[in-house]
Structure 1
Amino acid sequence: MKDKKVLITGGAGNIGSHIADAVIEEGAKEVIIIDDFTRGREENLAWAVKHGNVRIIKGDICDRELLSKSLKGVDYVFHQAAIRITQCQEDPLLAKKVLIDGTFSVFDEAIKAGVKKVVFASSASVYGNPSYLPMDEKHPFNNTTFYGAGKIANEELAKAFREKYGMNYIGLRYFNVYGPRMDIYGVYTEVMIRWLDMIKEGRQPVIFGDGKQSMDFVYVKDIARANILALQSDVNEGIYNVGTGIETSLNQLVKSVLELTNPDLTPIYEKPKNLVIVSRRRASIEKIKKELGFEPETGLKDGLREMIKWKEEQPRGSEKE
């Protein structure tokens, strides 16, 4: 990656900005960020801008002309732009436009520009509720959400672009990503951020459901590192899980958060919202370990500590719906 030109879609977001940092540390000559700043924030790129040659373009991945101009001379693409699962459920047409049409445009323009490799964000959402645990890459698509449908389409598009045009790609199925630079200002904020706001105000954190639903929480810097390994590897087609292989229930998660913030509080439980909640999630990471050399480095407690420290440094809390 040294002395190469890299483009990151959604590069001002949580994951994209951490990839930007990692790419600069690897010695990239230039990093181009495309972001519409719906969720991304310029301050997320402060370190990257200070330490590297970064060009920030405010724009939409559905804008073909913008993509065409931005991709000139680019060696590698990290495609991270998307909208949240909750927003996809509320506006399926927008989900199609961004996740499917937008991704098609990114792949198509990357081919035209002679990009050497595309690493793109998929999601564990493709799996839906587990048929078995841990979920490996051969697990069936039990998805029932528009977000998951979009990510399945992304993977199938990548295969089709490889078959027709020889596009080199790796798709990464992220499990539950957390860490500094999470979206705290918008309507669609993550559960951990909501909890931290409640705890700061001395209120009990709310769990929707019984708290037994589980996730595989993976620290954002581990996600960024997985992207770098994917790009640098000799593998030119494939889909990989990125998680920890550790299952954590929401009850366990809130306990850890409270231990680090306010041990005197206890959670309260409310009826689940309409959004489909996956009952359990745990990644098999054997394939990515073996083929890309990835292993998670940050444990949940350490990652939460870093996230809480970052959140406390933010100028204001998340806006309420």
Structure 2
Amino acid sequence: MRKILVIGATGSLGKVVTENLSLQYEVTGTYCHSKHDERITNIRYLKLDVTDKFDFEKLEHVYDCIVLISGAMPATMHGYQPQKYIDVNITGTLNTLEFCKKTKVRKMIFVMSFSDVAGSFYSGIPITTEQPRSLAMTGDHAVYGISKATACDLIEHYHQEYGLQTVIFRIPTVYCADDNVNYFVDGSKRTKAYVQMIRNVVQYQRIEVWGDPQNAKDMPYVKDFSRLIELAVKSKTAQGLYNAGTGSPVSLEQLVDTIIEIFGEDNSIEKVFLPEKNSQPNFTFDMSRTRAEFGFVPEYDLRRMFLDIRENVDPLVWQSGDK
């Protein structure tokens, strides 16, 4: 049985990816801060600090593939610590690549932010894998985006220099069925927008529609993403950057109507339009290269995703928070 190492196995993404891979492979998952579910007995868990190259010595030298998910990001950062992006996203990636070289790991899969093409939002043109970089050079995402782009350059170097098979998945926000309902904006904690929308529907029978209702974005579901990782583990030919969205952007209006359908008790939910508020991003990914290489087609549309979230998230989550 092939052996897979998932670095960052206990976060919202890593947990689902790790558990899915464990159905077919012998999986070791690492964590740094988040605890793992001790009821899961078919996965071996180890604590690993990716910024410390000597910490990698505790790992076995037997892995066929490494999936690097862990990383520092604005959505999980209290305050602003740019050095953390350098340490975790750049040094951590370098340490992982060095471990691959030292132990002769044949493949590495990396999860990349879509921050490298931030300048291509709102164009109405699907973003391809060949799109030139357009990193934001201001704001709290700037160093983050720079660090992730640099990590990708390091990965490409190790592919060309040492023959490591490397697969990079560029992701937008991936939606998950868990109780992790908060994130950080400019270092301050906020409730995720879709969570607040669901709470308003459930508790107050109203929902706010911010900005332009026609702005549309890719909304991939974690179960589709975990299947894409599985396909990459199996692929002998995949190499380089692949978009990991849906190719079918969801407008804010569609999102609102679907939340009302799935979480509203009837059709009397009040829609409150606030065009003066900030709109959601407007973008979609060109998924042609991903489909061609992996035969990947998302199984979860928006409605099926929210049905699955409703089924798997404790209803008490929707009963919390402010109006």
- Could you say whether these structures have the same fold, taking a TM-score greater than 0.5 normalized by the shorter chain as the test? yes
Alpha-carbon contact 2:108-2:167 (below 8 Å) kept: yes
Number of the residue aligned with 1:4: 2
Are residues 1:141 and 2:133 paired?
yes
Which protein is bigger by CA-based radius of gyration? 2
The answer for the alignment partner of 1:67 in structure 2 is 56
Letter matched to residue 35 of structure 1: Y
**Aligned equivalent of 1:23, options 18, 21, 24:** 21
SS of 1:173's equivalent in the other structure is strand
Equivalent residue in structure 2 for 1:125, among 102, 115, 125: 115
Distance in structure 2 (CA, Å) of the matches to 1:22 and 1:289: 20
1:180 aligns with 2:172: no
In 2, Cα distance between equivalents of 1:237 and 1:189: 37
State percent identity of aligned pairs. 22
User: What SS does structure 2 have at the residue aligned with 1:240?
Assistant: strand
Q: Which runs of 5+ in 1 are unaligned?
A: none
Secondary structure of 2:101's counterpart equals helix
Cross-structure match for 1:249: 251
Structure 1 stretch displaced more, 301-310 or 207-216: 207-216
CA separation of 1:97/1:301 partners in 2, compared to 1, >3 Å: closer, same or farther? same
Alpha-carbon distance, 1:189 to partner: 5.2
Deviation at 1:35, TM superposition (A): 1.5
Distance verdict in 2 for CA 1:78–1:272, change over 3 Å: farther
1:113 aligns with 2:111: no
Query: What's 1:78 paired with?
Result: 67
Question: Of 73, 79, 90, which residue of structure 2 is paired with 1:100?
Answer: 90
Residues in 2 aligned to 1:78 and 1:7: alpha-carbon distance in whole angstroms: 6
Amino acid at match of 1:312: D
Other structure's SS at 2:271 match: coil
Corresponding residue number in structure 2 for 1:33: 29
Secondary structure of the structure 2 residue equivalent to 1:77? strand
Q: How does 1:199-214 map to 2 (within 5 A)?
A: 199-202=201-204, 204-206=206-208, 209-214=211-216
Name the residue aligned to 2:286.
Answer: 284
Q: Distance in 2 between matches of 1:10 and 1:298?
A: 24
**Alpha-carbon distance change, 270 to 317 in structure 1, aligned in 2, over 3 angstroms:** farther
Q: How big is the shift at 1:8?
A: 0.6
Secondary structure at the aligned position of 2:174 is classed as strand
Question: Which consecutive residues of structure 2, in runs of 5 or more, have no partner in the other structure?
Answer: 184-188
SS where residue 25 of structure 1 aligns? coil
Q: TM-score, normalised by structure 1?
A: 0.84
- Distance verdict in 2 for CA 1:109–1:127, change over 3 Å: same
After the TM superposition, which residues 169-318 of structure 1 pair with which residues of structure 2 at under 5 Å, given as runs? 169-181=166-178, 183-184=180-181, 187=189, 190-202=192-204, 204-206=206-208, 209-235=211-237, 237-262=239-264, 263=267, 264-267=269-272, 269=274, 279-312=281-314
CA gap of 1:316–1:190, structure 2 versus 1, over 3 A, is closer
